[in-house]
Structure 1
Amino acid sequence: MKLKSLLSLTFLFLFLVSQAQNDEDDYNTEIIWGLTKNTNSGLIGGGIFKLARRQKDNVFTTYGVEIVNVKHPKEYRYPSPSGTYFTFGKQNFLYSIRGNYGREKLFFKKAPQQGVQISGIVAAGPTIGIIAPYYVLTSSGYEQYDPQKHTSRGSIQGSGKLFQGLGESNITLGLNAKAGLSFEFGAFKNNVAGVEVGISMEAFPKEIVIIPTQDNRAIFTALYFSMYWGTRK
Structure 2
Amino acid sequence: MKKLLSTTLYIVLAFLTLNTVTAQRRNSSGPAATKTTKPTKAKEKEVVDENNYHSILSFGITTNTNSGLLGGFAAKKEIVINSGSSLHQLHYFGLELVNVNHPKQSSVNVGGNGSSYTYGKQNYLFAIRPQYGREFNLFHRSSDGGVSVSGIIAGGPTIGLEKPYYLQIYYGRGIFRDEVYDPNKHNVTNIAGTGGFFEGLGNSKIVPGANIKAALNFELDAFRQSNISLEIGFLAEIYQRNINIMSFAENQKVFTSGYLTLYFGGKN
Fold-level similarity (TM above 0.5) = yes
Larger Rg: 2
Check whether the contact 2:207–2:241 (CA below 8 A) recurs between aligned residues. Answer: no
Cα separation, 1, equivalents of 2:190 and 2:259: 36
2:259 aligns with: 224
Cα separation, 2, equivalents of 1:134 and 1:167: 12
Check whether the contact 1:106–1:119 (CA below 8 A) recurs between aligned residues. Answer: yes
**What amino acid is the match of 2:119?**
F
SS of residue matched to 1:217:
coil
Check whether the contact 1:113–1:188 (CA below 8 A) recurs between aligned residues. Answer: no
Q: What does residue range 1-233 of structure 1 map to in structure 2 within 5 Å?
A: 25-56=51-82, 57=85, 58-80=88-110, 81-112=112-143, 114-140=145-171, 141-150=177-186, 152-233=187-268
Residue-by-residue CA offset, 1:128-187 (whole Å, 9 max, x unaligned): 11000000011241100112222x322311111122211110111110110010111131
Check whether the contact 1:54–1:60 (CA below 8 A) recurs between aligned residues. Answer: yes
Cα separation, 1, equivalents of 2:158 and 2:201: 18
Cα separation, 2, equivalents of 1:154 and 1:122: 49
| Unaligned ranges ≥5, structure 2 | 1-50, 172-176
Cα offset for 1:55? 1.1
Cα offset for 1:111? 3.1
Cα separation, 1, equivalents of 2:96 and 2:53: 24
Residue-by-residue CA offset, 1:40-83 (whole Å, 9 max, x unaligned): 11111100000110112310001110000000111111222443
Given the superposition, is the C-alpha separation of residues 182 and 155 from structure 1 closer, same or farther in structure 2, using an over 3 Å criterion?
Answer: same
| Unaligned ranges ≥5, structure 1 | 1-24
**What amino acid is the match of 2:235?**
S
Cα separation, 1, equivalents of 2:144 and 2:133: 27
1:19 aligns with: none
1:5 aligns with: none
Cα separation, 2, equivalents of 1:225 and 1:183: 11
Q: Give the root-mean-square deviation of aligned CA atoms.
A: 1.6
Q: How many residues align?
A: 209
Cα separation, 2, equivalents of 1:110 and 1:67: 31
Check whether the contact 1:112–1:188 (CA below 8 A) recurs between aligned residues. Answer: no
Check whether the contact 1:53–1:61 (CA below 8 A) recurs between aligned residues. Answer: yes
Cα separation, 2, equivalents of 1:205 and 1:224: 23
SS of residue matched to 2:202:
helix
The TM-score normalised by the length of structure 2 is: 0.75
Residue-by-residue CA offset, 1:18-43 (whole Å, 9 max, x unaligned): xxxxxxx4321010110111111111
SS of residue matched to 1:114:
coil
Check whether the contact 1:113–1:189 (CA below 8 A) recurs between aligned residues. Answer: no
Given the superposition, is the C-alpha separation of residues 92 and 113 from structure 1 closer, same or farther in structure 2, using an over 3 Å criterion?
Answer: farther
| Larger helix share, 1 or 2 | 2
**What amino acid is the match of 1:146?**
D
Cα offset for 1:113? 6.9
SS of residue matched to 2:189:
helix
What percentage of residue pairs aligned between the two structures are identical?
A: 40
**What amino acid is the match of 2:256?**
T
2:35 aligns with: none
2:20 aligns with: none
